[in-house]
Amino acid sequence: MQSVLIIGQSGQVSTYLQERLSGDYRVDVAGRDRVDLADRRSIKDALKSFSPTLIVNPAAFTAVDSAEDESEMAFAVNAEAVAEIAEYCAENNTPLIHFSTDYVFDGEADSAYTEEDVPAPTGVYGASKLAGEQAIIDSDAPAIILRTSWVYSNVGKNFYKTMLSLSESRTELSVVGDQIGSPTFAGSIADACGALITKVLDQGEIASEQKGVYNLSCEGETSWAGFAQAIFTAHGKSKMVVKSITTAEYPTPTKRPAYSVLSGAKLANVFGVELPDWHKGLEDCVNETR
Ligand SMILES: NC(=O)c1ccc[n+]([C@@H]2O[C@H](COP(=O)([O-])OP(=O)(O)OC[C@H]3O[C@@H](n4cnc5c(N)ncnc54)[C@H](OP(=O)(O)O)[C@@H]3O)[C@@H](O)[C@H]2O)c1
């Protein structure tokens, strides 16, 4: 039976991918105890012990602000470990699906980023993820890199859960209104990634002209303040007041892109895989029983 190895145990995307794929394939999940991305020398042997048909890597050092002080670890996990995974995949001709981020861009654009746009990360996290992308491309592994954005779900730590938790004790919240992006439900990512995996496994390979970077985020755009308001509306918390503030009023160690909407046209054209509008993703997240 074809086997899919997911790296990372309890992350948002990993959790939803495990659920999405488990009916169709043998799914192996490598937590840190089996594949520790901070220990690059152990990675290839660890991967070999699974001998997977295909590898998905949603694992990453994702603490955007902490990455500024923990640059070495961010690059170890997001770039050096990824280089090892990619080398394993190149040597064994194993298809790899790897996740990256909208934070590879500086956010100066005013229309949706395509895969042709030149990345220019503004912080360590984005730079480390971009280095991971480059390592995959340099390895010539049969790989697809999926850039996603503003991931949320009912598991782990994320903006959606933070807003709901704060609304238990507050009636008004100040939320940044001048950063624009596409909130993307981890369940929508898993559905799209599952469809992509099925295509790749049915084809038996990632053809050389299919290799490379693809955007994968929900359609449409909003600000963090707009997303917060939609979360409260969807949960019937109509009394919650969202006050839109500027990025300057909410300083963070890492500068975030002001605009990071990603065009999904390439993924739709090459693989026929499309994600729903972010409102639909939110509805699915709210209606999910977990
Ligand atoms: N979250 C976002 O808003 C966002 C936005 C754009 C792109 N992305 C990208 O999308 C992907 C999935 O993000 P996510 O939100 O699902 O991430 P997440 O919930 O923060 O989960 C991160 C995963 O990485 C694993 N991990 C971290 N360090 C590790 C190490 N040293 N060895 C092994 N595993 C390690 C964690 O393992 P444990 O299970 O052991 O903790 C966890 O499973 C990532 O590539 C991320 O860069 C995320």
Is 14's C-beta closer than 6 angstroms to any atom of ligand 1? yes
Nearest-angstrom CA–CA distance, 251 and 96:
37
* Percent of the chain whose predicted confidence (pLDDT) is above 70: 100
Q: What is the pLDDT of residues 170-188, one digit of tens each?
A: 999 999 999 999 999 999 9
* Percent of the chain whose predicted confidence (pLDDT) is above 90: 98
Q: What is the pLDDT of residues 238-269, one digit of tens each?
A: 899 999 999 999 999 999 999 999 999 999 99
pLDDT of residue 1: 80
Helix (H) or strand (E) holding 180: strand 180-181
Nearest CA to ligand 1 atom 37: 8
Task: Give the structural domain span for 110.
Answer: 3-156+183-219+261-276
pLDDT of residue 154: 98
- Tell the burial category of 70 from Cβ atoms under 10 Å away from its Cβ (0-12, 13-18, 19+): middle
Answer whether residue 289 shows pLDDT above 90.
no
Q: Mean pLDDT over residues 95-120, rounded?
A: 98
pLDDT of residue 123: 97
Q: Can you read off the two tokens belonging to residue 71?
A: 């640059």
* Spacing, Cα 250 to ligand 1 middle (Å): 24
Q: What is the pLDDT of residues 60-103, one digit of tens each?
A: 999 999 999 999 999 999 999 999 999 999 999 999 999 999 99
Answer whether residue 287 shows pLDDT above 80.
yes
* Spacing, Cα 65 to ligand 1 middle (Å): 14
For 41-45, 110-114, 146-150, 286-290, which range has the lowest pLDDT when averaged over its residues? 286-290
Q: Is 16 a catalytic residue?
A: no
pLDDT of residue 85: 98
Is 187's C-beta closer than 6 angstroms to any atom of ligand 1? no
Find out whether 123 and 71 touch, Cβ atoms under 8 Å: no
Is 148's C-beta closer than 6 angstroms to any atom of ligand 1? yes
Other C-beta atoms closer than 10 Å to the C-beta of 48 total: 12
Asked, for residue 224, whether it belongs to a domain, the answer is no
Number of domains in the chain: 1
Question: What stretches of the chain show up as alpha helix (H) in DSSP?
Answer: 12-21, 40-48, 71-75, 81-92, 124-139, 159-166, 186-203, 224-234, 265-271, 278-287
Residue 71's identity, in one-letter code, is S
- DSSP code per residue over 99-145: EEEGGGS-S--SS-B-TTSPP--SSHHHHHHHHHHHHHHHHT-SEEE
Asked, for residue 165, whether it belongs to a domain, the answer is no
pLDDT of residue 162: 98
pLDDT of residue 243: 98
| Mean model confidence pLDDT for the chain | 97
Q: Are strands 96-101 and 143-148 parallel, antiparallel or unpaired?
A: parallel
Nearest-angstrom CA–CA distance, 146 and 101:
8
Q: What is the pLDDT of residues 183-204, one digit of tens each?
A: 999 999 999 999 999 999 999 9
Give phi and psi for 4, each to the nearest 5.
Answer: -115, 125
Which residue, chain included where needed, has tokens 């949320």? 152
Nearest Cα neighbor of 241 from 252, 229, 257 is 229
Task: Tell if the pTM clears 0.85, that is, is over it.
Answer: yes
CATH of the domain at 210: 3.40.50.720
**Closest ligand 1 atom, residue 31 Cα:** 40
Distances (CA, A) of 136 to 115, 141, 199: 15, 6, 21
Asked, for residue 236, whether it belongs to a domain, the answer is no
Asked, for residue 247, whether it belongs to a domain, the answer is no
Is 18's C-beta closer than 6 angstroms to any atom of ligand 1? no
Instruction: Name, in order, each residue with C-beta under 8 angstroms of 92's C-beta and a sequence gap of 6 or more.
Output: none
Q: Can you read off the two tokens belonging to residue 6?
A: 């997911």
pLDDT of residue 211: 98
Asked, for residue 141, whether it belongs to a domain, the answer is yes
Burial state string for 247-260 with b = 16 or more CB within 10 A and e = fewer than 16? eeeeeeebebbbbb
Asked, for residue 246, whether it belongs to a domain, the answer is no
Q: Which of 113, 125, 152, 214 is catalytic?
A: 125
Answer whether residue 206 shows pLDDT above 90.
yes
Q: Mean pLDDT over residues 212-240, rounded?
A: 97
